[in-house]
Amino acid sequence: MLAPLRQAQALILEALLTNARLDAGETFVLEELRARLALRFDLDQVDRLTRELAQQIDTATSHELAMHLSPAQRTVSNLVARNVIDQFRTRNVALVQTLVGKQLDDLKVTLAKPANVNLHPSALRPVLQQRFGVSASRAELWARDQTLKLHGQITEQRYQAAGVTEYIWTSSGDERVRESHADLDGTQQTWANPPVTNDAGDTNNPGLDYECRCTAYPVI
């Protein structure tokens, strides 16, 4: 999901280094960039990449659940998974659009600084690349979190649709597991009444807390 963001960043840099003129004013520059992004930024590609990712996760969870569910239960769970994936696609295409919009917001802040007003666009390249690097790092965390959440959501919805109401909380068992999740490892929980998983008092099933890599082993 980072590919569309990097595409937008490349288009912004390209526009600055070719036709965009800072001495024509910040508003002109931003409007030109918005026009270029509208013409060349491919939302269909964003949707396709998001769909492919969701299908990969769905296939992985389907194989996991096949070991525990009957053919009839798997059929029901497959129908439920489709709805979860559709919601994931809609939500994440919107998030990518928001991230791209923030790239232009970052540019507006940069152009508004007095020290940058009379600079040639090429002189802004290192500044923008640094800002884009920060944005990309945040987007990478977001993408990883969304991937883990989708895995957790599909697993939860599939098992519940198949009539499985309880599970064993299973952590990844390494040094990155947060203490509260390590304490839950091996405990029996219910999908309908998830445990507290963080200091804020939030309740979550496996995979739904921020960057949670824990999984659920079904109690059948």
pLDDT for residue 24: 47
pLDDT for residue 42: 62
* Per-residue pLDDT tens over the stretch 132-180: 666 667 667 777 888 888 889 888 988 888 889 999 999 988 989 999 9
* Per-residue pLDDT tens over the stretch 35-81: 655 555 566 767 777 778 788 888 887 787 778 877 777 777 777 77
Average model confidence (pLDDT) across the chain: 77
The pair of structure tokens assigned to 131 is: 């800002």
Return d(Cα 161, Cα 178) in angstroms, integer. 29
Residue 129 CA neighbour count, 13 Å, CB half: 8
Helix, strand or coil for residue 181? helix
Return d(Cα 92, Cα 143) in angstroms, integer. 9
Sequence spans of domains, the chain: 2-164, 165-220
pTM (2 d.p.):
0.67
* Per-residue pLDDT tens over the stretch 114-134: 666 666 666 666 766 666 666
